[in-house]
Structure 1
């Protein structure tokens, strides 16, 4: 399997120091990347995937301490070794507290530099290898490691930490492909039930005639084809967590039974007479707005029972700062899978990734990066990114099918996504025409004020960025 040389980013405003470090790095069989100032270093770190950074503390413009902080926001596991000619205890303490991996002083001894780099590479390899190879062990990593380090994900992680130790039923909402199951697994991993199993059930993938047996099990002879007694998912998740994905697809007849089980905490298998205790925490997920759903589609009482605590996973378009982090993560995992050594992204490639709106969210981004790694030879450029366009859309000939149908979601999901897109556009237009007066917009749309607030939150619609000149916190509601 082909493996690429370790990449060492050298950041120093002194050309002779960069030359000396570059020669040392290349003698050790590694590849050197160079930057003479902070902004250049940050740009290289974003476009490439350096394994270790050698960073001078004292530089014109952005100093090493600030660069260190910004590098750690981009990649919290990136080892940064600080180098300075002003070796002092204060500098050492400050850099270590800021997250530096190690600290060396000029004039440095070559052997010490190489030793520090080798240690950093070994530690980075150990930290990254499980994330790349063991894709089924995602619950062992924090949400920030799996989903990004944006403010939105940090807030999401705080919500998970708050509700995980409780036994609350949790409803996770968000568009298709945002990572709702990752959130569910993070809740389970931080809960008191972590020693039990987390059993996922895709409610939309099980035929209506089998869903009851799937959830609650059945006795031998309970129906045609029931040749033996089978445990259901509720029983399999005892002392653990039952994750009900696409809960909105659950038939109405099953919704009433699920409600009763959640309230009474006991059930009977299909065809059985023995009462079974329902000792599983339930986490449900949906890409629909169940709060305003028609009662003939989803029971309001079940919604209220499931929403002991609601966590909304924001779409990728509202947290664009996570796009590059996730792209690098998918690049690493695909490199490992394919035995390739794609080094990173060109500036044009990054611009396209950042400009696109990602209607399929993280799942679509992952697919795009995987395909790009497959076809690229060295770095990923615009030509490797398929149908993405710099304006955030897709090519016209693919818009009608490529954006709507990817083979990854059901017809119901496609219809819901299209309906949600239209609804979001209409609400945005009405809010603008009403000068962001929520009460007025609700009256125009003939919906109640509470529903309007819910939809604004669900679709992350706000006046920020629309350039009306109003100060933050100023209200338009009468």
Structure 2
């Protein structure tokens, strides 16, 4: 229930008791409504939907407290009931709890005890309301509805992802950089039975090899130099929830062996620990490599098949051009609000340029482009023209996909050479500077023939 929905209904045939409790609760900022019989209590609860808690006397004429408790559970099952009686026994208290009462209190009672019970219940209700609200907000932010698309390609993606959400099987999401792999992973988590539980994500290519094992599996104090306290690791932190292994293809092969064992047994042994810890975790992996490359080059075949129980391929933006107008409109609306602008759309020329662009960075590139333009566009201007595009784009109109690929290859090779020069040939340091694993660095050096 919402925080404001916490009116207390006091039900007792003893009018003096009712008035005393009412006065006590009013002094402590509770809204109170009273009733002196079972039928009157049912009327009050039905008339006022803000009643969130009932103080209910067990012994009353015509309709006793247990009978009234059952009727409350039928008509307002979400309402909390505290039973009150002057004839309290252990058996009576146990029976009240069995029948659905939240708590039991005997007369006469210390006013502080009653107020503490009510305060704890109110705080618990408020916390539950906040959690419920957060779950709705997360669902709105990360649910499938938040992934903007009208294409047939994405419709099949949503159908497969929706089916995956209702399963605990491992999921492998494949797609180019910027296509929204993590957003889809969060949507699967939020729409499944593990919603509300932890979602722990890690980019396997961004963590140095020496740290990745301890980040995933944890360690015990004293396991190695610098291990000054226990660290549970992401798998343990994601227990009952989901762990998202992004760029799984960049994980070193020797670490893949350990990951395979975890996925086979769903147990993890932190570094420096002698016992294994059982896990209940859903695994979603992602990569920007093709399925064939993953199987042949980047992943152990047995690990790939363990992860790829459900495979979802996210198409690049160039294959779903019909979504470009929808995405542009969505990003303009979002960044209008963020930067207090009133841009309505793009000129015909600007739209044509964007529509025909290759978008190697996919949706993320389009999002960053629109935000960059709206952040600095004059407040009175309501149309994005080719002039604004040229000021924010580092590309020229592509002549073909081959030109784009060559340009990106040259850029990547330059970055490798520059990092090696700055690190004086130290490949470990160069990998850290570039934010990739050493395995990835060696693979790229070989690919481009860099010494």
The answer on whether the counterparts of 1:174 and 1:315 sit within 8 Å (CA) in structure 2 is yes
**Aligned residue number for residue 331 of structure 1:** 332
The answer on whether the counterparts of 1:359 and 1:403 sit within 8 Å (CA) in structure 2 is no
- Offset at 1:170? 0.4
Does residue 189 (structure 1) correspond to residue 193 (structure 2)? The answer is no
**Aligned residue number for residue 286 of structure 2:** 285
Q: Which range is displaced more, 189-198 or 291-300?
A: 291-300
> Which structure 2 residues correspond to residues 425-464 of structure 1 after superposition, within 5 A?
none
**Aligned residue number for residue 217 of structure 2:** 216
After superposition, the Cα gap between the structure-2 partners of 1:215 and 1:184, relative to the gap in structure 1 and judged at 3 Å, is: same
- Offset at 1:313? 0.3
The answer on whether the counterparts of 1:356 and 1:393 sit within 8 Å (CA) in structure 2 is no
Superimposed CA distance per residue, residues 146-171 of structure 1 (whole angstroms, 9 cap, x where no aligned partner): 23221112111111111111111000
After superposition, the Cα gap between the structure-2 partners of 1:288 and 1:238, relative to the gap in structure 1 and judged at 3 Å, is: same
The answer on whether the counterparts of 2:328 and 2:370 sit within 8 Å (CA) in structure 1 is yes
Superimposed CA distance per residue, residues 112-146 of structure 1 (whole angstroms, 9 cap, x where no aligned partner): xxxxxxxxxxxxxxxxxxxxxxxx94764543532
- Offset at 1:332? 1.8
After superposition, the Cα gap between the structure-2 partners of 1:410 and 1:221, relative to the gap in structure 1 and judged at 3 Å, is: closer
- Offset at 1:200? 0.4
Superimposed CA distance per residue, residues 213-254 of structure 1 (whole angstroms, 9 cap, x where no aligned partner): 100111000010000001110011001000000000111111
Task: Decide which structure has greater helix share.
Answer: 2
Equivalent residue of 1:262, what SS?
A: helix
TM-score (norm 1): 0.54
The answer on whether the counterparts of 1:170 and 1:308 sit within 8 Å (CA) in structure 2 is yes
**Aligned residue number for residue 85 of structure 1:** none
Instruction: Find the partner of 1:384 among 379, 385, 388.
Output: 388
Q: Which range is displaced more, 365-374 or 234-243?
A: 365-374
**Aligned residue number for residue 180 of structure 2:** 179
Equivalent residue of 1:310, what SS?
A: strand
Q: Measure, in 2, the Cα distance between the counterparts of 1:241 and 1:398.
A: 35
The answer on whether the counterparts of 2:336 and 2:343 sit within 8 Å (CA) in structure 1 is yes
Give the number of equivalent residue pairs.
Answer: 281
Q: Measure, in 1, the Cα distance between the counterparts of 2:349 and 2:201.
A: 39
Q: Measure, in 1, the Cα distance between the counterparts of 2:193 and 2:309.
A: 17
Unaligned runs of 5+ in 2: 1-136, 416-432
The answer on whether the counterparts of 1:291 and 1:300 sit within 8 Å (CA) in structure 2 is no
Alignment RMSD (CA, Å):
3.1
Structure number with larger C-alpha Rg = 2
The answer on whether the counterparts of 2:142 and 2:183 sit within 8 Å (CA) in structure 1 is no
Q: Measure, in 2, the Cα distance between the counterparts of 1:275 and 1:162.
A: 32
The answer on whether the counterparts of 2:142 and 2:186 sit within 8 Å (CA) in structure 1 is no
- Offset at 1:181? 0.6
**Aligned residue number for residue 312 of structure 1:** 313
**Aligned residue number for residue 455 of structure 1:** none
Equivalent residue of 1:209, what SS?
A: helix
After superposition, the Cα gap between the structure-2 partners of 1:183 and 1:392, relative to the gap in structure 1 and judged at 3 Å, is: farther
